[in-house]
Structure 1
Amino acid sequence: MTTSPASRPARRALACAVTLVLALVAASCSVPPKQQTPVEDVATSASGTGETGPEGFEDFYGQSLAWEDCGAGWECATARAPLSWQDPSAGEIELAVKRRPASGERIGSLLTNPGGPGASGIEFVTSLAPMVGDRVTEAYDLVGFDPRGVGESSPVVCLDDAAKDESLSRDFDTDEAGLEALAEDRRAWAEACAENTGDLLGQVDTQSAARDMDMLRAVLGDEKLAYLGYSYGTQLGATYAGLFPDKVGRLVLDGAIDTSLDPDTISEQQAVGFENALRAYVEDCQAGEGCPLRGDADQGMRQVRALLDAARSNPLRTDSGRRVTQTLAFYGVAVTLYNDQSWPVLTQALTEAFDEGTGDLLLYLADFYNDRNPDGTYSSNSTEAFRAVNCLDGRQDDDPAAMQAQLERLEEAAPTMGTFFAFGGLTCEGWPFPAAEPEFDLHAEGAAPIVVIGTTNDPATPYVWAEGLADTLDSAVLLTWEGEGHTAYGRSNACVGDAVDAYLVDGTVPEDGLRC
């Protein structure tokens, strides 16, 4: 049994890159609108807006960034942010920022976030540039930043590579002894994070990151925020809208998270999302040539689960000498479900496992998911930041009876994948800081129109979440892509792309309920 490894609704950076990387391995009608009028133009300034920000934080809002050339037309800078937005005397942290200036008539900055929480916006914005419409890159400075706790910004630091390797590959029993071992593993994470990160560990919640984003907006010279957020980035964007509704300009929230849901419900609905995505893969695989899954879709799903269970009792061998545990095998399957263009690689991995009893490709995929390099080092702190942010944003029920009851619900709703989302209540075991109290308006009353995008068979952020967030935000309109995989803008079709481009550049709000 593995515990909630896939509940990373914001692994957008991975989702964007996965098709290209896996290709190297593979060598292979609408309803009446809620809003249709253009939103107001975004007023901008080449320097800061001159805002003072909240009392005590004037120096942060008034700072000037020292931009330096960092190659290929990009500029990089480091911004200062307060450690605590509640206490200006608590000290400060650094935020890494990267931008590519608009290539045409500039209307402002477009801040972006790839998800996670924990994915690097610095890395993401480079890969985003060719994905967005030309009209967008002509009109906006594309801006990426690593949120507090992430990457090149002041980071969360926890286990060393060897200990992290061991933890991310372990399987745990669901009996009393197994769950105690799981709890002890999570306590070790918490202790290491506290020792190696310090007070920052208690200040990486999404509300603090949203306040950082407002500061960056002002420092960049934008009177209103223009923003493109994917997956967890939609939670960050919705939180911003709830905190600063009067500063909302043009917000696109793609692969939406429903901010009205509790963490247990999120976990259960995400399990169903991955179950549905796996079934879509199985049906597609069986309809083609060379599929290792026999019989009908139900039988194919059971074969995948049997493989995962077999890896628990007899981990798959690899050429590297490492063994593919059930946990690693699950990661390897899950990562390919973020993009249907990666399905052929899953077929290769399953064929290797069934026919040869080896797991080299599954291990490669699991390492890719976890940002692990071949030499055993990790290329990012995304796992650490993911856990830290989520433990401050909200926690699942850790009552043993409640967790067992949830396991039963998960196995009934998602027979193949549900088990792997169980016992998330232990993720924050021993966490040294309490969850942050919500301070934002879920409905973002008074905000300008916000575009929420959902993909009908998105595994990581199920479509029902997009519907929920669109209903929750007072000014939201819902744009739907009838497709497979995680998120839509930049990887779907012209219907989605043109609608988003027209909104960002012209301020033309799509029809509420538009389906592409």
Structure 2
Amino acid sequence: MRKSWAVVAGAVALAVGLSGCSVLEGDPNKAPEPSITIKRTPPPGSEALAKFYSQELSWKGCGVGQCADLTVPLDYSKPDGETVKISVLRMRATRPNEREGSIVVNPGGPGGSGVDYARAADFIVGKPVRQRFDIVGFDPRGVGRSDPVDCLSDAGMDEFLGSEQTPDDAAEAQGFLAEGKKLGDGCVQLSGDLAANISTIDAAKDMDILRSALGDAKLNYLGKSYGTYLGAIYADLFPKLVGRFVLDGVLPPDTTPEENALGQAEGFERATRAWAADCVDGGNCPLGNSVDAVMAGMRQMFKDLDAKPVPVSGDARVKELTEAWASTGVAQAMYDQGQWSTLTDAIAKVKQGDGTDLMGLADAYASRDPDGKYTSNLLEAFFAISCLDNPDSPDASTYEERAKAFAQKAPTWGAFMAWGGAVCAQWPVKSDVKPHKVSAPGSGPIVVIGTTRDPATPYENSVRLADQLSNGRLISFDGDGHTAYGRSNSCVDNAVNDYYTEGKAPPKKLDC
């Protein structure tokens, strides 16, 4: 879990589950005119891409919303070479006569579907925003419907995700490294040149071509989790094309793989302690009668499952809950406190020798059905993109040392997060991306949101990016769960809604 295997699990599940719901005013199949008609030309220095910037999208009704394909170069250094089709979905503003433009959205990952996310437009932005903006989502290259990267069979993914992920000795460490190499080699074998051209920089360049195709002079954007990293990279490349930008639950581009891993370990530790307090307050907590006792009980549960997995029923392939699957299930519940009671009940059943319910949480994390079918390539794309963006050390001793150091600050999650980087240790394709600060001089206000007990994207990350940006604004939400806009309180929601609809940026710092 370098950043998070399913940072977008809750958001994507919402989008998929509610994709049949939308309340529209007007004809959803009639394409509105852009609020600002501009000449579709590339920004200075990108003239070789003129044919891509000049394209107009051919929208067609597709059940809920309108769909189109955007054409972009596979390799931006070879604009006359192969191309990639990017799947785009637009949910029209519910009051077309008041339409102000588009907001492009990304739910995170990497690997999350922006198409599925945009389908839930009624639920991911406030009503005033929904009325006045088209909500546009796209599956980034390599993801979902946009030439998806493929790395392993479904059975191979089961083996990878269920295997030992906190090695206890040198043999287990080499085995884990071998599993990561198998995944990377599979990406190259099954996906060819695509595997080398799905970095976040590529996706950010695609997003600017999408901006032009939408007819917008500047890009309005809502990015959550990894979507903040994508947004920050866009702002770094195209600062003067930044419109109304909101980055919620931050992954700063200047953090190293080690910093990311430690930050997540500490974030999940805080979130798990918050769940533990809730478990104790509810009475009859299956792991202990105090927060410290519950945390110790969680670690013992993982250790016991490592030595002796418990049975799982009703699954086509996975017959036992291993330590790896259990940790994935627990992590899933940390993204939203609405899942805490489900986790408590699932752990109680594990203590009784039944891993079925905790495996169900792990399935949700992995976008996996009990019949063994993965409903998206989220995890394959996650690693394929992450390992291009943030390559890590090939030396197993690096992760052994990190595991020991991280355990001092995050006893429950330190080893999991430390060893997560090893998946990218021997990744077969490389990039020249380096961690770097983003200031985006000349941009409009960029609103950054941080949740104080966010497990996947620690609050400190949001403070860090807001401070680096030349025109950053920080909204701090004192609460639990992953991200804040649309799931926290009216203080956050009203500030973001006013920014989008009125152009009224929040103050430099706003506490909610």
Decide: shared fold, TM above 0.5. yes
Alignment match, 1:338: 335
Q: List per-residue Cα deviations over 1:485-511 (Å, max 9, x = no partner).
A: 000001011111000000011000101
Alpha-carbon separation, structure 1, partners of 2:12 and 2:452: 18
Aligned position for 1:103: 94
Q: Does 1:300 align with 2:291?
A: no
The one-letter code sitting in structure 1 at the alignment partner of 2:129 is: V
Render the CA deviation track for 1:122-157: whole Å, top value 9, x for unaligned.
111122422311110111000010001100001111
The farther-off stretch of 426-435 and 158-167 is 426-435
Name the counterpart of 1:168: 161
Is 1:507 the counterpart of 2:503? The answer is yes
1:358 alignment counterpart:
354
1:127 is aligned to: 120
Contact 2:35 2:100 in 1 (8 A): no
Separation of aligned partners in 1, 2:7 and 2:121: 14
**Deviation (angstroms), 1:65:** 1.1
Cα distance, 1:514 vs structure 2: 0.7
**Residues 13 and 124 in structure 1, CA contact (< 8 A), matched pair in contact too:** no
**Amino acid aligned to 1:7:** K
Counterparts in 2 of 1:331 and 1:485: CA distance versus 1, 3 Å:
same
> Which residue number in structure 2 is paired with residue 51 of structure 1?
41
For residue 454 of structure 1, report the CA deviation from its aligned partner: 0.3
Asked if the contact 1:210/1:239 (under 8 Å) is kept, the reply is: yes
Q: Give distance in 2, aligned partners of 1:515 and 1:184.
A: 46
Aligned to 2:3: 7
AA partner of residue 373 (structure 1): D
Deviation track 1:360-390 (CA, whole Å, cap 9, x = no partner) reads 1011111111111121111000111110111
Asked if 1:243 is matched to 2:237, the reply is yes
- What does residue 460 of structure 1 align with? 456
Contact preservation (8 Å) 1:201, 1:388: yes
- Asked if the contact 2:407–2:414 (Cα under 8 Å) also holds between the matched residues in 1, the reply is yes
Q: Is the 8 A contact 1:48 1:219 kept in 2?
A: no
- Asked whether the 8 Å contact 1:186–1:430 carries over to 2, the reply is yes
CA distance in 2, matches of 1:289, 1:439: 45
- Describe the SS at the equivalent of 2:243: strand
Where 2:179 maps in the other structure, the secondary structure is helix
What is the identity, as a one-letter code, of the residue corresponding to 2:75?
Answer: S
2:228–2:251: 8 Å Cα contact kept in structure 1? yes
AA aligned to 1:287 is D
Q: Match for 1:303: what amino acid?
A: G
Aligned pairs for 1:467-506 (under 5 A) are 467-506=463-502
Q: Distance in 2 between matches of 1:267 and 1:135?
A: 37
Aligned to 1:431: 427
Structure 2 CA distance, aligned partners of 1:314 and 1:467? 42
Paired residues of 2:223 and 2:248 also in contact (CA < 8 A): yes
- Are 1:140 and 2:133 matched, yes or no? yes
Partner of 2:21: none
1:252 and 2:255 matched: no
d(CA) in 1 for partners of 2:295, 2:471:
40
Residue 435 of structure 1: CA displacement?
2.3
Contact 1:443-1:473 at 8 Å conserved across structures: yes
Aligned with 2:474: secondary structure? strand
What number of residue pairs does the alignment pair up? 489
Of 45-54 and 264-273, more deviation after overlay is shown by: 45-54
* Aligned equivalents of 1:260, 1:187: Cα separation in 2: 26
Alpha-carbon spacing, 1:435–1:370, altered in 2? closer, same or farther (3 Å) = same
Per-residue CA deviations over 1:188-247 (Å, capped at 9, x if unaligned) read 111111011111111111111000000000110000110000000000001100100010
1:233-277 CA-to-partner distances (Å, cap 9, x unmatched) read 000001100100010110000011122211111101110000000
- For residue 152 of structure 1, the aligned residue among 141, 145, 150 is 145
How many Å apart are 1:9 and its aligned residue?
A: 7.4
Contact 1:151 1:380 in 2 (8 A): yes
Residues 1:20 and 1:350: Cα distance change in structure 2 (over 3 Å): farther
* RMSD of equivalent CA atoms: 2.0
Supply the AA of the counterpart residue of 1:348: D
Quote how far apart the aligned CAs of 1:20 are: 11
In structure 2, the gaps of 5 or more residues are: 18-32
Instruction: String of CA shifts for 1:377-412, please: whole Å, max 9, x gaps.
Output: 110001111101111111233333332221111111
Distance in 2 separating the partners of 1:397 and 1:438: 14
**Residues 453 and 488, structure 1, Cα contact 8 Å, conserved in 2:** yes
Corresponding residue number in structure 2 for 1:40: none
Among 322, 326, 339, the alignment partner of 1:329 is: 326
Contact 1:399-1:425 within 8 A present in 2 as well: no
The answer to whether 1:417 aligns with 2:409 is no
Task: Verify: 1:269 aligned to 2:266, yes or no.
Answer: no
Once the two structures are TM-superposed, the CA of residue 89 in structure 1 deviates from its matched residue by 2.5
Alpha carbons of structure 1 residues 439 and 400: separation in structure 2 relative to 1, 3 Å: closer
Counterpart CA distance in 2 for 1:204 and 1:178 is 31
DSSP 3-state at the match of 2:228? helix
Segments of 4+ moved more than 6 angstroms: 18-21
- Return the alpha-carbon distance in structure 1 between the equivalents of residues 455 and 408 of structure 2: 17
What is the TM-score of this pair, normalised by structure 1? 0.91
Q: Aligned to 1:129, what secondary structure does the other structure show?
A: helix
For the residues of structure 2 that align with 1:20 and 1:141, how far apart are their CA atoms?
A: 19
Cα distance in 2 for partners of 1:18, 1:459 equals: 19
SS of 2:123's partner is coil
For residues 55 and 14 of structure 2, the distance between their equivalents in structure 1, rounded to whole angstroms, comes to 37
2:199 to 198, 202, 205: 205
Which position in structure 2 is the counterpart of 1:377? 373
Assess if the C-alpha contact under 8 Å between 1:255 and 1:487 holds in 2.
Answer: yes
Q: TM-score, normalised by structure 2?
A: 0.92
What does residue 177 of structure 1 align with?
171
CA shift in 2, pair 1:397/1:376, >3 Å: same
- SS of the aligned residue for 2:310 comes to coil
Structure-2 separation of matches of 1:9 and 1:378: 14
| Mapped pair 1:63 → 2:55 | yes
Aligned pair 1:451/2:447, yes or no?
yes
Asked if the contact 1:264/1:397 (under 8 Å) is kept, the reply is no
Mapped to 2, the partners of 1:47 and 1:155 lie a distance apart of 32
Q: Is the 8 A contact 2:121 2:130 kept in 1?
A: no
Contact conserved, 1:11 with 1:116, CA < 8 A, in 2?
A: yes
Q: Which residue matches 1:32?
A: none
* 2:66 alignment partner in structure 1: 75
The answer to whether the Cα contact below 8 Å between 2:12 and 2:113 also exists between their aligned partners in 1 is no
